[in-house]
C-alpha cells in the first residue's frame, strides 16, 4: 500500500514539475515573441513561431484535463518544442544560432519525465545538430538569418537567457526541491523503520519475559504437587515454554529481527534440557552437526518444540536409568526451503509397533503434529540403536494459526 502511495507521489511530482516548466516556457516564448516584434525589429517567421508554440502548448496543457495522460502531453509539447527550436535555429544563424541551446531543455525535460524519454530526445537532438551542421556546410544551405544585424547581440542574449532561466531557474530549482523532499521523506521513513525495529525488539523482549514468568509460575506450581507424574507434566510444560522464550530472546538480541542463527539456538536448548532433566553433573553428550542456517520465527518455534520433545523423550525414557549417552542432532538444507532433520539417541529405544496413534505419550504425538505443521514428514530410522527420527520439513514464511491437537 505504501509502495503504491510513493509511486503516486512520484507521478504527482513529475506532473507538477512538467506543468511548472511548460507554463513558464509558454510565458517566456510569448514574451520573447513580443520583444522580437516590438524592440528587436524581427518581423519574419521567428516571432510567429514563438507565439505559435506558446498558444499551441497552452492548448496542449488544457487538453490534459480531458485525457489525463502525462506521456501524451509531454510528447506533444516536446515535438512542438523541437520543431519550433529547429525552425528558429535555421533562420537565426544555423549552427551559430544562440537559440540552439534551447534543444537542451527538451532533453532535460525528457530525463525528468522518464529516463527512456530523455535517452530518446537526447539521441534525436544529437541527430538534429548533426543535420543542422551538415546542411550549413552544403553548397545550398537553407539556413539564413532573419535577425537584423543590429539586433543579433540582443537576440543572442535573450536566447541564452531563456535557456539558462528554464534549465537553472525553473528546472534546477524544482528538481532540487523534489530531491530535498525525497531525501526528507527517506529520512522520515528510515526513522520510522528504526522506531518499528525498536518496538519489535521490545515486543520480543516482553514476550520473552512473559514466557519466562509463565515458566516460573509452572515451576512454583510443580513444587506444590506431590504426585511425581503430575510434577513431570509441569516440568514438560515449563520446558516447552522456555523453548519458545529462547527464540524471542535470540530475536531480541539480533539486529535481524526476522531470523535466528539456528545452531546456537539448538545448542542452548539442548544444554538447557540436559541440565533441567538430568542435572548439572550429567555426562550425556550433545552432538550437533548444523551449518550456519538462519530460520524465521514461524519455522524456528515449531521446529524448536519438535526438537524439545525428541530430546526430552530421549532424556526421560531413552536414558531413564543411565547417566551416560549421546544425543545427535543433524540439520541439512536440501534446497532453498527444504530441510532434513536427523535427531536421535543411543538409548534403549521403544518397540517398533508403538506409534503416535497407539501411544499415550504427548511428546510422540507432538513430534508428528509439529512435523505436519512444518509441511513435512517424520519416519523412524530403525537401522540405529535407540530412538532416531528422520524429519523432512519446509521453511514456513508466514504461518497461519495452528493448533497442535
Domain assignment present for 267:
no
Sheet with 377-380, strands from edge to edge, namely 283-289, 324-333, 338-345, 388-394, 377-380
Q: Burial letters for 337-359: b for 16+ Cβ neighbours within 10 Å, e otherwise?
A: eebebbbbbbbbbbeeeeeeeee
CA distance 27 to 54: 7
Q: Which of 175, 190, 205 is the last residue of a domain?
A: 190
Q: Are 121 and 106 in contact (CB under 8 A)?
A: yes
- pLDDT for the residue 272: 87
CA distance 104 to 322: 87
Q: Are 362 and 393 in contact (CB under 8 A)?
A: no
Domain assignment present for 53:
yes
Q: Which of 128, 161, 190 is the last residue of a domain?
A: 190
- pLDDT for the residue 391: 92
Whether 179 and 67 share a structural domain: yes
- pLDDT for the residue 228: 81
CA distances from 140 to 90, 134, 241 (A): 13, 11, 93
Domain assignment present for 310:
yes
CA distances from 371 to 233, 242, 247, 379, 382 (A): 22, 20, 18, 10, 19
Using the structure block, give the residue that is written with the C-alpha cell 514456513: 396
CA distance 155 to 159: 6
| Helices 228-253 & 297-313 angle (0-180, nearest 10) | 150
Domain assignment present for 397:
yes
Domain assignment present for 234:
no
Q: Are 135 and 143 in contact (CB under 8 A)?
A: yes
Whether 33 and 158 share a structural domain: yes
Q: Are 145 and 89 in contact (CB under 8 A)?
A: no
Whether 22 and 132 share a structural domain: yes
- pLDDT for the residue 1: 43
CA angle 369, 372, 376 (to 5 degrees): 140
- pLDDT tens track, the chain, 405 positions: 444 555 555 566 667 767 777 888 888 889 989 998 989 888 889 999 999 988 998 898 888 888 888 788 888 888 888 898 889 888 888 888 888 888 888 887 777 677 788 788 888 888 988 888 887 776 666 667 888 888 889 988 988 888 887 776 666 655 655 666 666 666 777 777 777 777 777 777 788 788 888 888 888 888 888 888 888 888 888 888 888 888 878 777 766 667 888 888 889 888 888 888 888 888 889 999 988 888 888 888 888 889 888 888 888 888 877 778 899 999 998 887 789 999 999 888 887 777 777 777 777 888 888 888 889 898 988 888 888 999 999 988 765 545 444
CA angle 241, 247, 253 (to 5 degrees): 130
- pLDDT for the residue 331: 92
The domain spanning residue 316 has which CATH number? 3.30.565.10
CA angle 202, 374, 258 (to 5 degrees): 25
In 3-state terms the chain splits into helix, strand, coil percentages (rounded to 5) of 70, 10, 20
Using the structure block, give the residue that is written with the C-alpha cell 519475559: 209
Q: Exposed, middle or buried: residue 2 (CB in 10 Å: 0-12, 13-18, 19+)?
A: exposed
| DSSP string across 6-31 | HHHHHHHHHHHHHHHHHHHHHHHHHH
Using the structure block, give the residue that is written with the C-alpha cell 525414557: 317
Domain assignment present for 242:
no
Q: Which of 190, 218, 233 is the last residue of a domain?
A: 190
pTM over 0.85: no
Using the structure block, give the residue that is written with the C-alpha cell 545427535: 328
Kind of pairing, strands 294-296 and 259-261?
antiparallel
Domain assignment present for 222:
no
Task: Please name the residues in contact with 403: beta carbons below 8 A apart, sequence gap of 6 or more.
Answer: none
* Residue positions counted in the chain: 405
DSSP state of 139: S
Domain assignment present for 223:
no
Total domains in the fold of the chain: 2
Q: Tell me the three cell numbers of residue 356.
A: 503416535
Whether 293 and 185 share a structural domain: no
Distance in angstroms between the alpha carbons of the first and the last residue of the chain:
37
Whether 186 and 321 share a structural domain: no
Q: Burial letters for 18-28: b for 16+ Cβ neighbours within 10 Å, e otherwise?
A: beebbebbbeb
Domain encompassing residue 30: 2-190
Residue 52 phi, psi (nearest 5): -65, -45
Amino acid at each position: 500500500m505504501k509502495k503504491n502511495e510513493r509511486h503516486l507521489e512520484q507521478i504527482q511530482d513529475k506532473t507538477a514539475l512538467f506543468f511548472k516548466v511548460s507554463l513558464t516556457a509558454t510565458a517566456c516564448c510569448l514574451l520573447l515573441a513580443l520583444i522580437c516584434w516590438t524592440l528587436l525589429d524581427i518581423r519574419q517567421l521567428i516571432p510567429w513561431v514563438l507565439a505559435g508554440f506558446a498558444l499551441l502548448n497552452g492548448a496542449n496543457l488544457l487538453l490534459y484535463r480531458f485525457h489525463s495522460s502525462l506521456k501524451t502531453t509531454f510528447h506533444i509539447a516536446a515535438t512542438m518544442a523541437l520543431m519550433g527550436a529547429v525552425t528558429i535555429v535555421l533562420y537565426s544563424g544555423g549552427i551559430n544560432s544562440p537559440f540552439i541551446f534551447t534543444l537542451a531543455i527538451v532533453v532535460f525535460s525528457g530525463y525528468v519525465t522518464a529516463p527512456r524519454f530523455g535517452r530518446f530526445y537526447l539521441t534525436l537532438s544529437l541527430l538534429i545538430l548533426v543535420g543542422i551542421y551538415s546542411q550549413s556546410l552544403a553548397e545550398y544551405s537553407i539556413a539564413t538569418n532573419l535577425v537584423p544585424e543590429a539586433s543579433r547581440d540582443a537576440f543572442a542574449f535573450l536566447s541564452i537567457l531563456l535557456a539558462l532561466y528554464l534549465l537553472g531557474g525553473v528546472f534546477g530549482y524544482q528538481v532540487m526541491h523534489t530531491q530535498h523532499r525525497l531525501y526528507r521523506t527517506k529520512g522520515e521513513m528510515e526513522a520510522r523503520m528504526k522506531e518499528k525495529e525498536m518496538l519489535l525488539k521490545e515486543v520480543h523482549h516482553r514476550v520473552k519475559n512473559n514466557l519466562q514468568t509463565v515458566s516460573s509460575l509452572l515451576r512454583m506450581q510443580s513444587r506444590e504437587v506431590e504426585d511425581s507424574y503430575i510434577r513431570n507434566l509441569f516440568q514438560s510444560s515449563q520446558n516447552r515454554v522456555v523453548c519458545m522464550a529462547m527464540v524471542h530472546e535470540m530475536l531480541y538480541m539480533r539486529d535481524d529481527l526476522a531470523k535466528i542463527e539456528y545452531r546456537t539456538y539448538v545448542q542452548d536448548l539442548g544444554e538447557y534440557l540436559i541440565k533441567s532433566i538430568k542435572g548439572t553433573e550429567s555426562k550425556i553428550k550433545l552432538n550437533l552437526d548444523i551449518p550456519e542456517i538462519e530460520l524465521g520465527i514461524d519455522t524456528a518455534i515449531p521446529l524448536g518444540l519438535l526438537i524439545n520433545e525428541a530430546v526430552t523423550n530421549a532424556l526421560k525414557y531413552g536414558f531413564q536409568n543411565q547417566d551416560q549417552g549421546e544425543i545427535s542432532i543433524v540439520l541439512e538444507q536440501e534446497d532453498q526451503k527444504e530441510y532434513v532433520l536427523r535427531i536421535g539417541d543411543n538409548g534403549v529405544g521403544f518397540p517398533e509397533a508403538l506409534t503416535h496413534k497407539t501411544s499415550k505419550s504427548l511428546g510422540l504425538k507432538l513430534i508428528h503434529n509439529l512435523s505436519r505443521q512444518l509441511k513435512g514428514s517424520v519416519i523412524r530410522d530403525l537401522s540405529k540403536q535407540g530412538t532416531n527420527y528422520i524429519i523432512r520439513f519446509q521453511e514456513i514464511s508466514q504461518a497461519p494459526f495452528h493448533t497442535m491437537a
